[in-house]
Amino acid sequence: GNSVTQMEGPVTLSEEAFLTINCTYTATGYPSLFWYVQYPGEGLQLLLKATKADDKGSNKGFEATYRKETTSFHLEKGSVQVSDSAVYFCALSGSYNQGGKLIFGQGTELSVKP
Amino acid sequence: DGGITQSPKYLFRKEGQNVTLSCEQNLNHDAMYWYRQDPGQGLRLIYYSQIVNDFQKGDIAEGYSVSREKKESFPLTVTSAQKNPTAFYLCASSFGTGTYEQYFGPGTRLTVT
């Protein structure tokens, strides 16, 4: 079945640093790809998504490009803020025999210091 | 405002008691999901429902039960058979399964002592 692997955290950056959180996947067919963000004690919020190869999802300064040749969907931001401190989850749509559910990575904790 | 509500935010129970967590959505979504999240961990799927009066087990269904009598509601019961019930429980919904994104509620933190 489909699966996703994301880099382990925690990731600690200084304010205004460049952020990359790696996400790679294995999948049959053409899954959709997602990034979610979870702030402490809250539910997950959809950050961005891409539904086909070479699509770029973007939101709030975050970007990720659906790369089929490298099976990747890395999350990037040019200049992080303290308020970006959260846990980030990469996800993809499951295969038919997985009931089409979303498959989530383990999450990467980001801590941004002033 | 459309969204997903979960209540209560914090729930405390004694060991051996069943407890039911509420999840309501007014997004007109067909599919609903329950996840469990342990500290520093990812999400694990407990149950999901693609349509009213139908639901399927997820990866860790043992010790849990659900019902889907209305499109808007998908309550989760944590039974006394669940060996480690203390966790953060998240409910989500989507237009359907497959490529649709899921929308999450704020979660319920259950503590069983």
| Structure-token match 């060996």, residue found | B83
For the cut 90, the answer to whether the pLDDT of residue A94 exceeds it is: no
| CA dist list (Å): B39 to B11, B60, B86 | 16, 17, 10
Contact B43 A89 (CB under 8 A): yes
Instruction: Please indicate if any CB of chain A lies within 8 Å of the CB of B45.
Output: yes
Average pLDDT, integer, range B100-112: 93
Give chain B positions within 8 Å (CB) of A49.
101
Q: Are strands A86-93 and A102-104 parallel, antiparallel or unpaired?
A: antiparallel
| Structure-token match 């953060």, residue found | B88
Question: What SS3 class is residue B26?
Answer: coil
Q: What is the pLDDT of residue B41?
A: 81
* Residue of chain B minimizing CA distance to A49: B101
Give chain B positions within 8 Å (CB) of A105.
42
Confidence of residue A96 (pLDDT cuts 50, 70, 90): low
CB nearest B42 (choices: A34, A93, A106): A106
What is the distance in angstroms between the Cα of A50 and the nearest Cα belonging to chain B? 10
CB nearest B99 (choices: A51, A107, A109): A51
- Give the alpha-carbon dihedral of A42, A11, B42, A61, to 10 degrees: 60
Contact B104 A44 (CB under 8 A): yes
Q: What is the pLDDT of residue B42?
A: 86
Per-residue burial over A10-29, b if 16 or more Cβ lie within 10 Å, else e, is ebebeeeeebebebbbebee
- DSSP assignment of B35-99 equals EEE-TT--EEEEEEEEETTEEEE-SS-TTEEE--SBTTB--EEE-TT-S---EEEEEEEESSSSS
Q: What is the pLDDT of residue A102?
A: 86
B52's tokens: 């009213």
Confidence of residue A42 (pLDDT cuts 50, 70, 90): very high
Give chain B positions within 8 Å (CB) of A45.
104
Contact B106 A104 (CB under 8 A): no
Q: Are strands B4-7 and B10-13 parallel, antiparallel or unpaired?
A: unpaired
For the cut 90, the answer to whether the pLDDT of residue B12 exceeds it is: yes
Give chain A positions within 8 Å (CB) of B50.
99
* Residue of chain A minimizing CA distance to B88: A41
pLDDT, tens only, B13-58: 999 999 999 999 999 999 999 999 998 788 999 999 999 999 999 9
